[in-house]
Chain A
Amino acid sequence: MTHFVDRRLNPKGKSLGNRQRFLRRARTQIREAVQKSLKDAAVADIGKERKIKISAKGTKEPRFRLDPRASGERDFVLPGNKELMPGDTIDKPKTGSGQSGKEAADSGEGEDDFEFTMTQDEILDIFFEDLELPNLVRTTLKETPNKVWKRAGITTSGSPTQINLIRTMRNSFGRRLALKRPTKADIEALQDELDRLEQESPVNDEKISALKERLARANAKRKWVGFIDPIDVRFNAFTEQPVPTSQAVMFCLMDVSGSMGEREKDLAKRFYMLLHLFLKRRYKKVDVIFIRHTHDAQEVDEQEFFYSRQSGGTIVSTALDKMLEIQRERYATADWNIYAAQASDGYTQSGDARHCVDLLNTAIMPLCQYYAYIEILDEREMEVFASEDSGAELWRAYRTVAEEWPNFATKRIAKPADIFPVFHELFKKTEAAA
């Protein structure tokens, strides 16, 4: 009468449909939350599972409920009295805490914040949505590391297209020798002999019939011992192996002087995140180095890079010097692919731009796989500098570098959607190289 059922092997993800419906429903809140959480996230952390906290706005499930705080009266019973006597009074808890707060949470209200975990794919979907990446790029970015088919010796089974002729023929030859399979020449020799005997007179019947028998036996044996037998056949074997990826280092250079505000840094950060994703896809190991500069450059950790401020002038070349110094010390070009991304608002001390160009042309660009310079403007400036040719000193100086080096990109951005075109070029290049 009792049934025991083992359900553990039933298909998983029964609630996937519900989850998708929920994510779609809370899209706006989730997008906000993801952007916010990425803002606080480390550059290398994008594309990991993460916890998301959203406000319960779009996903409220209201029900009629009573509000005894508004007016009216009620009685209620609590457990755990210690010293209270009838007639005593106690303070009401403040709104949103204590007993009534709990009640509110139970009835599906008051849940202003709602925390849950999103998978890597779900996060990337939302991150990309804002950057307006083409779909093709999205999928390639989310792809797991590339794999290639490598030769893995010889097997006895496989598809006919993978047949290894030399091995197969060698086996077949050995077998034919071992089993003494009559060759065509043997048969022909017998046949000639037979013809000759039949022409001869007097006819030697005995010899002829013996020869005929030998011929018949030889023919039969040719049939039994096939030219190629299934046991001879060999195939080339392949196994999937991850692409041996080398390592890359990514230098993030940023001007942190007073003129770079919260918005500018946020845009720069998105840019670095995306670059990191791209590099992650190509290289197994990606180091990220943060160099900030004012009139003086320092290597710092990510936290300081994005969040601390420094006052001072702006000398861009100091950062380039610093980058070269670090590269010489730690990242030999033989072992490392070097990428650099520089973000700035375009101001530098007059005369310094010249120096930068020299550094780039002579020292840095020969080392770098790619160097991206982004100038972060506000939307108003964007209109003023509509043309690529006009701009501040640094911009004009860098344009000359770009003309010389195809792997040097300059771009102005004012909003997240502007970031992608920079990568478009980078991406095209890597595709062509691959």
Chain B
Amino acid sequence: MTTPLFTEPEWDFATIDRTYRAIEDIALNDLKLDIYPNQIEIISSEQMLDAYSSLAMPLMYNHWSFGKMFAREEALYRAGYSALAYEVVINSSPCISYLLEENTMTMQALVMAHAAMGHNHFFKNNYLFRQWTNAEGILDYLSFAKKYMAACEERYGREEVEAVLDSAHALMDQGVFRYRRPPKPSKERVLEKRRRRAQYDEEAYNELWRTLPAGVEPPSSPPILDPEDEFSGEMKLPEENLLYFIEKNSPSLAAWQRETLRIVRNLAQYFYPQRQLKVMNEGCATFVHYTIMNTLFDRGLITEGSWLEFMHSHTSVVFQPDFSDRRYGGFNPYALGYGMMSDIRRICEQPTPEDRDWFPEFAGKGDWMGTLKDAWANYRDESFIEQFLSPKLMRDFRLFALYDKADQDKYKVSAIHNESGYRAVRTMLARQFDAGVADPNIQVTGADLKGNRTLFLSHGMHRGVPLHNQTKELVLAHVERLWGHDVKLEEQAA
């Protein structure tokens, strides 16, 4: 009988270290996960709120909206409406996980298994993250962005900078490349950029400032980073990335404003994969922590009491209220993702005839880890659901589809969890998780640069659903501010 790693609820660094090693051992040797190096940081609840409110990034430029978010989260937290997340994890290399100091030792173990193993593996292996985000560079970039925005405030005034950021934030959802990769600068351009950034750092460096206490940034004038990025005269149309188009072509923006747009756009692009991978990312992490914690228990490394504590927290995380429940707030990505992944394991190990019928490729083959790893690496929420959602799970969740037509005052049930409905429900659910469908499809169709400089946008309506009128006007005002001239938005039936 092995002795448990810990028996007390209180944690200390020695215990955490010991437990981490045990968890890592299971993750690497049993599950064969492939992870970035881990960096685990213990933080207080206030720091956790801080982390929440700046888009869960450790560094961020200053903006009032983050202050608003903080105030809201703090109010909810104080009133006891929401517990703090047990952890925040950052897709970077090394992969940084924040653990809350108030967690019990069991929770710390759970969180390490969840974030430092589950999320970490997913970040490193999923094709969207691999293709679109640069885990090695993100922290450096954020640090640059923070310094740059601070320097801009110093030089051009807070109001000016705030105005640009407000407008850029309004277009954040339209500031990503969805279908093509961002135009990749040539290697020389990249080197040139890096040189300029370094040069900026050098210029901003001043002997005098060395005597400042650590953390105080000296004021300096923000440089023009990319003179070549000035208007080039040719436009590729239509363009789905509004921020990119405006950054390159706006007749009225100054160089620092363009750089600001680029920063916001890069952030939007960095977060875009996460929006398409909510179910899979959380599902993967939850499945991994569940498997690891149970392995620890099976090997006698955690006590029965810890295991019960873990199960209590696990079941509340994967709880999915019914649609008619007062607590219902949409699909719980943890519940759906974890449900599907443990269902895949079941199909691999103990398939029913129905499963063999639906999933001949892997039903009964036994290699659940291989199947899951393949799914984690090569799918996103939409395709994952379309491919792997089983009839049994649809019955378990009691899924049903509604048809909604704006001029009717009732929803019609179009399909339910039965033989004739499985495929329809599955496809509709998959569409629901497709960010490309959920976000309005807005494109730049033209800009009259020689004449009155009007910018033309069009919204390709999907099944006749228009933009929300009030917010449309508000966002268009922001577009006009960035463009500097009239902006026309047309809604077209696609």
Partner of B414, one of A21, A22, A75: A75
Q: Does B56 contact A (CB under 8 A)?
A: no
Give the size range of A's interface with the partner: 35 or more
Q: In the complex, what distance in Å separates the CA atom of A21 from the CA atom of B159?
A: 10
Min distance, Cβ A128 to any Cβ of chain B, angstroms: 21
Q: Does B138 contact A (CB under 8 A)?
A: no
Q: Does A115 contact B (CB under 8 A)?
A: yes
Contact A11-B402, Cβ < 8 Å, known A88-B413, A89-B411? no
Residue of B nearest to A10 (CB): B47
Q: Is the CB of A89 within 8 A of B467?
A: no
Q: Is the CB of B43 within 8 A of A114?
A: no
Contacting residues, chain A, for B9 (C-beta < 8 A): none
Q: Does A132 contact B (CB under 8 A)?
A: no
Contact A73-B47, Cβ < 8 Å, known A62-B478, A78-B400? no
Contacting residues, chain A, for B62 (C-beta < 8 A): 17-18, 21
Q: Does A307 contact B (CB under 8 A)?
A: no
Contacting residues, chain A, for B162 (C-beta < 8 A): 21, 25
Residue of A nearest to B68 (CB): A22
Residue among A7, A11, A24 with the highest chain B CB neighbour number at 10 A: A7
Min distance, Cβ B388 to any Cβ of chain A, angstroms: 16
Min distance, Cβ A82 to any Cβ of chain B, angstroms: 7
Partner of B17, one of A4, A11, A85: A4
Residue of A nearest to B13 (CB): A4
Q: Is the CB of A65 within 8 A of B440?
A: yes
Q: In the complex, what distance in Å separates the CA atom of A79 from the CA atom of B459?
A: 31
Contact A23-B403, Cβ < 8 Å, known A8-B43, A85-B413? no
Q: Does B415 contact A (CB under 8 A)?
A: yes
Residue of B nearest to A20 (CB): B67
Q: Is the CB of B72 within 8 A of A81?
A: no
Contacting residues, chain B, for A117 (C-beta < 8 A): 71, 74-75, 78
Residue of A nearest to B477 (CB): A62
Contacting residues, chain B, for A15 (C-beta < 8 A): 49-50, 53-54, 66-67, 70
Q: Is the CB of B37 within 8 A of A2?
A: yes
Contacting residues, chain A, for B442 (C-beta < 8 A): 64
Min distance, Cβ B325 to any Cβ of chain A, angstroms: 7
Contacting residues, chain B, for A116 (C-beta < 8 A): 71-72, 74-75
Partner of A73, one of B46, B67, B404: B404
Min distance, Cβ B472 to any Cβ of chain A, angstroms: 7
Stretch in B256-264, B427-435, B444-452 with 4+ CB within 8 Å of A: B427-435
Residue of A nearest to B461 (CB): A72
Contact A86-B413, Cβ < 8 Å, known A2-B38, A77-B401, A103-B330? yes
Q: Is the CB of A76 within 8 A of B466?
A: no
Contacting residues, chain B, for A73 (C-beta < 8 A): 403-406, 463-465
Q: Is the CB of B41 within 8 A of A5?
A: yes
Residue among A3, A80, A99 with the highest chain B CB neighbour number at 10 A: A80
Min distance, Cβ A151 to any Cβ of chain B, angstroms: 37
Q: Is the CB of A64 within 8 A of B173?
A: yes
Contact A8-B47, Cβ < 8 Å, known A79-B322, A99-B323? yes
Q: Is the CB of B50 within 8 A of A76?
A: no
Contacting residues, chain A, for B228 (C-beta < 8 A): none
Partner of A71, one of B53, B400, B440, B464: B464
Q: Does A432 contact B (CB under 8 A)?
A: no
Contacting residues, chain B, for A72 (C-beta < 8 A): 405-406, 461-466
Q: Does B135 contact A (CB under 8 A)?
A: no
Residue of B nearest to A11 (CB): B215
Q: Is the CB of A64 within 8 A of B471?
A: yes
Contacting residues, chain A, for B464 (C-beta < 8 A): 71-73
1/0 contact trace for B220-252 toward A, CB 8 Å?
A: 000000000000000000000000000000000
Q: Is the CB of B432 within 8 A of A77?
A: yes
Q: Does A69 contact B (CB under 8 A)?
A: yes
Contacting residues, chain B, for A11 (C-beta < 8 A): 215
Min distance, Cβ B94 to any Cβ of chain A, angstroms: 7
Q: In the complex, what distance in Å separates the CA atom of A26 from the CA atom of B71?
A: 12
Q: Does B378 contact A (CB under 8 A)?
A: no
Contacting residues, chain B, for A5 (C-beta < 8 A): 39-42
Contacting residues, chain B, for A63 (C-beta < 8 A): 170, 172-173, 471, 475
Q: Is the CB of A14 within 8 A of B47?
A: yes
Q: Does A178 contact B (CB under 8 A)?
A: no
Q: In the complex, what distance in Å separates the CA atom of A6 from the CA atom of B401?
A: 48
Q: Is the CB of B66 within 8 A of A80?
A: no
Q: Does A354 contact B (CB under 8 A)?
A: no
Q: Is the CB of B323 within 8 A of A78?
A: yes
User: Chain B: interface secondary structure?
Assistant: mixed
Contacting residues, chain A, for B468 (C-beta < 8 A): 64-67, 70, 109
Q: Is the CB of A22 within 8 A of B403?
A: no
Q: Does B195 contact A (CB under 8 A)?
A: no
Min distance, Cβ A165 to any Cβ of chain B, angstroms: 41
Residue of B nearest to A114 (CB): B72
Q: Does B345 contact A (CB under 8 A)?
A: no
Q: In the complex, what distance in Å separates the CA atom of A89 from the CA atom of B416?
A: 13
Contacting residues, chain B, for A106 (C-beta < 8 A): 330
Partner of B467, one of A65, A91, A115: A65
Q: In the complex, what distance in Å separates the CA atom of A275 from the CA atom of B442?
A: 58
Q: Does A263 contact B (CB under 8 A)?
A: no
Q: Is the CB of A84 within 8 A of B416?
A: yes
Partner of B63, one of A21, A67, A68: A21
Min distance, Cβ B334 to any Cβ of chain A, angstroms: 13
Partner of A102, one of B330, B407, B425, B459: B330
Q: Does A51 contact B (CB under 8 A)?
A: yes
1/0 contact trace for A49-61 toward B, CB 8 Å?
A: 0010000000111
Residue of A nearest to B442 (CB): A64
Residue of B nearest to A16 (CB): B67
Q: Is the CB of B411 within 8 A of A90?
A: yes
Q: Is the CB of A77 within 8 A of B428?
A: yes
Min distance, Cβ B250 to any Cβ of chain A, angstroms: 18
Contacting residues, chain A, for B406 (C-beta < 8 A): 68-73
Min distance, Cβ B159 to any Cβ of chain A, angstroms: 10
Partner of A21, one of B37, B67, B78, B328: B67
Q: Does B16 contact A (CB under 8 A)?
A: yes
Q: Does B44 contact A (CB under 8 A)?
A: yes
Min distance, Cβ B137 to any Cβ of chain A, angstroms: 19
Within 8 A of B (CB), among A1-49: 1-8, 10-12, 14-15, 17-26
1/0 contact trace for B160-188 toward A, CB 8 Å?
A: 00100010011011100000000000000
Partner of B465, one of A74, A85, A115: A74
Q: In the complex, what distance in Å separates the CA atom of A14 from the CA atom of B67?
A: 10
Q: In the complex, what distance in Å separates the CA atom of A70 from the CA atom of B467?
A: 9
Q: Does A87 contact B (CB under 8 A)?
A: yes
Min distance, Cβ B145 to any Cβ of chain A, angstroms: 15
Q: Does B324 contact A (CB under 8 A)?
A: yes
Contacting residues, chain A, for B215 (C-beta < 8 A): 11
Min distance, Cβ A70 to any Cβ of chain B, angstroms: 5
Q: Does A92 contact B (CB under 8 A)?
A: yes
Q: In the complex, what distance in Å separates the CA atom of A19 from the CA atom of B71?
A: 8
Residue of B nearest to A118 (CB): B71
Q: In the complex, what distance in Å separates the CA atom of A71 from the CA atom of B215?
A: 53
Q: Is the CB of A22 within 8 A of B46?
A: no
Pick the 7 closest A-B CB pairs, nearest first: A80-B322, A22-B67, A72-B464, A18-B67, A116-B71, A72-B465, A62-B474
Q: Which residues of B contact A (CB under 8 A)?
A: 13, 16-17, 20, 24, 37-44, 46-47, 49-50, 53-54, 62-68, 70-72, 74-75, 78, 94, 98, 101, 158, 162, 166, 169-170, 172-174, 215, 320-325, 328-331, 397-407, 409-417, 420-421, 425, 428-429, 431-432, 438-440, 442, 459, 461-469, 471-472, 474-475, 478
